[in-house]
Amino acid sequence: MRFSRWHVALITLLAAAGAGAIIAYAAAPGLSIVGTAKFPIDVKAGDYDLIAQVIDLPSGGTLPKHTHGGPTVVYVITGTLTLTDASGTKTVKAGESFTENAGVVHWGSNQGTTSVRVAVSYLIPKGADVITMVK
The pair phi, psi for residue 132, each rounded to 5°, is -130, 120
| CATH code of the domain containing 16 | 2.60.120.10
Using alpha carbons, select from 133, 121, 111 the residue that is nearest to residue 3. 121
Tell me how far apart the alpha carbons of residues 108 and 44 are, in angstroms, rounded to a whole number. 28
The residues pairing with 76 across neighbouring beta strands, listed in sequence order, are 118
Domain that holds residue 105: 5-40+47-133
Count of domains observed in the chain: 1
For residue 93, the model assigns a pLDDT of 96
For residue 31, the model assigns a pLDDT of 79
10-residue block means of pLDDT along the chain (135 residues)?
44 45 62 80 90 96 96 95 97 94 96 96 95 95
Dihedral sign for Cα 3, 20, 98, 78, please: negative
For residue 27, the model assigns a pLDDT of 62
For residue 25, the model assigns a pLDDT of 58
78-99 pLDDT tens trace: 999 999 999 999 999 999 999 9
For residue 64, the model assigns a pLDDT of 95
